[in-house]
Structure 1
């Protein structure tokens, strides 16, 4: 039983995490920094190579500029590059489709959300996160097997680029957001997973409260009665008048 039209917390969580993960996956897809090669014998000591799945750049530690668009057919012919390109692009597209499906299901101006539609959207978002984590993990697991021409990868220093970190974070965001939205497709725990309240709890809160019993306390400030002459009274003292005083003088 829903007491308000507020969107349930699990749907809010999923609708926030999914766009954040999509932005991080987009940066990880297009940025050319999946790994960094330094101490390359064909380059000066201050220059290093940044390799992504779409582009390769040569950057320097003493300047902010980078020379991108480097041709490297041997690097792009590695068996991991093309699957990574397809999975990352598919992840971005599936996330958008999942958001488009989930938005009509989480509408808060109805009595209750369409949990089936929202759950299907969450499942698509979950799958998009998996599509991101698979190529990221594959690329991280096998950097020595990724070859590049005129560079002996066994003699140079290889570091993980920031795209790998962003891809991991974005994929985890989408997996968590999609999973949390999907668990609302089935009602469990008395509807608490959907932000619902049991009818018994609502009726218990609405029961009228019994007012507290009023106790009469006797008033102790009463006038002295004839049966209790010892109780002091506040009597007004009498003041002798002038006529009585003169009459007493004449008698004397």
Structure 2
């Protein structure tokens, strides 16, 4: 059983966080706020999103939504932002599902190509979220408004953050298979199913290995068994040459 690499876990954290931020940016009615509307109390603030418009007062916490503004919703950027943000959310979910199915570094045979394909899906979903947010941010002061006091809403910040997190998560998912492969090669010589301890030639037995060790031990002794027997021979007469004196 193999553990998932840290880079894969990083992608699995970044991608869901980015998805939640993009979802909040999509549904929350605060892509921009309009203040100091002529003919209205100065405390009135309009919170305009891509799906709804809400009204609130600075001195009260009451928020009234479902405010109709056909002129605002008829802008081209609103329809484009709706479609692209929804597409980003759907593609992110599909990418996470593909990565979950394909990248199993804890199994013997991970589907590396499937995992990389899921990471590519997540990367594209991040781009789909960044484009409408950046476009809206660029032209938010030019969209039809009842006042010239227009400010950027928190949904723009959430959209940027979520899109960047999703893009980074997609890149991490895309590179995680390469990281797993390199780890397997360092551990088992290139075969993901074999580690270093399972190398077929790692514990090869040599039949003459014991004999070689025995010879080396024998040669290191100062005397061999045969020479010792020649010197200490109790039943053999030692030849004598010379004169014996009493």
Q: TM-score, normalized by length of structure 2? A: 0.72
Deviation (angstroms), 1:198: 4.9
CA contact (8 A) 2:36 2:147 kept: no
CA contact (8 A) 1:22 1:95 kept: yes
**Match runs of 1:94-133 below 5 Å:** 94-133=91-130
Structure 1's unaligned 5+ residue stretches are 207-252
Deviation (angstroms), 1:111: 2.3
* 1:158 matched to 2:150: yes
Would the alpha carbon gap of residues 103 and 147 (structure 1) be closer, same or farther in structure 2, given more than 3 Å must change? same
SS at the partner of 1:80?
helix
- Structure 2 counterpart of 1:191, from 167, 182, 191: 182
CA contact (8 A) 1:95 1:124 kept: yes
**Match runs of 1:78-97 below 5 Å:** 78-97=75-94
* 1:11 matched to 2:3: no
* 1:175 matched to 2:160: no
State the distance in 2 between where 1:8 and 1:114 align. Answer: 15
Structure 2's unaligned 5+ residue stretches are 190-195, 203-246
Would the alpha carbon gap of residues 102 and 115 (structure 1) be closer, same or farther in structure 2, given more than 3 Å must change? same
Count residues with an aligned counterpart.
194
SS at the partner of 2:11?
helix
SS at the partner of 1:197?
helix
Match of 1:31 in 2: 28
Report the RMSD for the aligned CA atoms in angstroms: 2.4
- The structure with the largest alpha-carbon Rg is 1
State the distance in 2 between where 1:39 and 1:137 align. Answer: 25
State the distance in 2 between where 1:112 and 1:184 align. Answer: 15
Deviations, residues 204-224 of structure 1 (Å, cap 9, x unaligned) = xx9xxxxxxxxxxxxxxxxxx
